[in-house]
Amino acid sequence: MIKSIWAYRNFIISSIKNEYQTRFARSKLGALWMILHPLAQVAIYALILSSVLAAKLPGIDNKYAYAIYLMAGMLGWSLFTEVFNRCLTVFIDNGNLIKKMAFPRIALPLIVVGSGVLNNLLMLLAVVVIFGLLGHLPTLAFLWLPVLMLVTLALAIGMGLTLGIMNVFMRDIGQVAPVLIQFWFWLTPIVYMVTLIPEAYRDLLMLNPMTGIVMSYQSVLVYNQSPDIGVLFYPVIMALAFIGLAVHFYRQANEEMADVL
């Protein structure tokens, strides 16, 4: 599998480029929209939500503390949901390509990952700009972000591909998963702090693998601290387990998917 990915590396890279070229074809601003969209999103959080939902966070002396907290969590969540949602339908969306061309199908999720990472990096750039305008400057703790992105991607790929392969054979999964994602968002401490949850329920909240990841993003981006490695153990284990399951499913269903599609 690794050899086939390396052999088709140019196909993967060119597909990512073509995706962006197609997206911004006939657009006068072109790739600038890739920055304007996430910048507009974080600007809304920074300028509107901080006034409507103003809140004090312990350890942060900033008028826009809530917006900073919210953007930090959204950065990790947006990377997870984009890769997860696209992996969920990646084989169905590319059914015609799979039937017409001979190439390793595992290349399709890698194209999704490459596109998702680029989008997230642009959002990170916008977040850093907004943080700077709000007087919340980055520190060396930001060096942890590549590690957090890797854990987030691993979890998104593992879960997304596991369900994505199943979705080829049972299309109801593609209908149920987006609904569950909406509930999942509110079960993750993005718009609220973990300390607001009664202690009796905090252990249940930690069973959500995205809780530890989002908390780590908040430690790095909000509090300028290294993440608590302890809260990342569970997400890493879950990510590895789902990746193993996805690889198993892929090997079992690789040949049958083309026939079903």
Per-residue confidence band for 68, with pLDDT thresholds at 50, 70 and 90: confident
The per-residue pLDDT for 162 is 93
CB 158 within 8 A of CB 245: yes
CB 210 within 8 A of CB 188: yes
Q: What angle do CA 225, 84, 124 make, to 5 degrees?
A: 40
Q: How far is CA 161 from CA 89, 146, 174, 187, in A?
A: 9, 22, 12, 22
The per-residue pLDDT for 169 is 87
Specify the pTM.
0.85
Cα separation, 155 vs 173, in Å, equals: 18
Per-residue confidence band for 3, with pLDDT thresholds at 50, 70 and 90: confident
For residue 58, count CB atoms less than 10 angstroms from its CB and return exposed for 0-12, middle for 13-18, buried for 19 or more. exposed
Domain residues for 59? 2-260
pLDDT at 102 over 90: no
Task: Give the count of domains, the chain.
Answer: 1
Percent over 90 (pLDDT), the chain: 26
